[in-house]
Amino acid sequence: MIELKKVTRRFGDSVAVDRINLTIETGEVCVLVGSSGCGKSTTLRMINRLLPSSEGEILVDGEDVTSMNPQQLRLNMGYVIQGTGLFPHWTVARNIAMVPRLLKWPKERIDARVDELMTLLDLDPAAHAHKYPQQLSGGQAQRVGVARALAADPNILLMDEPFGALDAITRESLQQEMLRIQQQVRKTTVFVTHDIDEALKLATRIAVMDQGRIIQHDTPENILRRPASEFVENLVGKQDRGLKLMSLRPVRDLMDRHQSPKPGAAGAEGVKEDDNVRLALSVMLWQDLPEMAVFNAQGQESGVITRERIIQGGA
Ligand X SMILES: Nc1ncnc2c1ncn2[C@@H]1O[C@H](COP(=O)(O)OP(=O)(O)OP(=O)(O)O)[C@@H](O)[C@H]1O
Contact residues: ligand X, CB under 6 A: 11, 16, 34, 36-42, 194
- Give min distance, CB of 39 to ligand X, in A: 4
- Give min distance, CB of 45 to ligand X, in A: 8
The residues facing 193 across adjacent strands are: 33
What phi and psi, each to the nearest 5 degrees, are found at residue 167?
A: -70, 160
- Give min distance, CB of 170 to ligand X, in A: 20
Nearer to ligand X, 157 or 284 (CB): 157
Helices (H), the chain: 40-47, 70-75, 92-96, 98-102, 107-120, 125-128, 138-150, 168-185, 196-202, 220-225, 230-236, 241-248, 277-287, 307-313
Nearer to ligand X, 156 or 207 (CB): 207
Nearer to ligand X, 42 or 142 (CB): 42
| Residue 3 amino acid letter | E
The H-or-E segment that residue 187 falls in is: none
Nearer to ligand X, 83 or 299 (CB): 83
How remote is the C-alpha of 63 from its chain's centroid? Answer: 25
- Give min distance, CB of 161 to ligand X, in A: 7
Nearer to ligand X, 16 or 236 (CB): 16
**Integer Cα distance of 3 and 24 in angstroms:** 6
How close are the terminal C-alpha atoms of the chain, in Å?
Answer: 32
- Give min distance, CB of 280 to ligand X, in A: 33
Tell which residue, 77, 90, 86, 152, has the closest CA to residue 116: 152
- Give min distance, CB of 2 to ligand X, in A: 17
Nearer to ligand X, 33 or 77 (CB): 33
**Integer Cα distance of 20 and 40 in angstroms:** 11
**Integer Cα distance of 200 and 31 in angstroms:** 9
The residues facing 9 across adjacent strands are: 17
- Give min distance, CB of 79 to ligand X, in A: 14
Nearer to ligand X, 40 or 94 (CB): 40
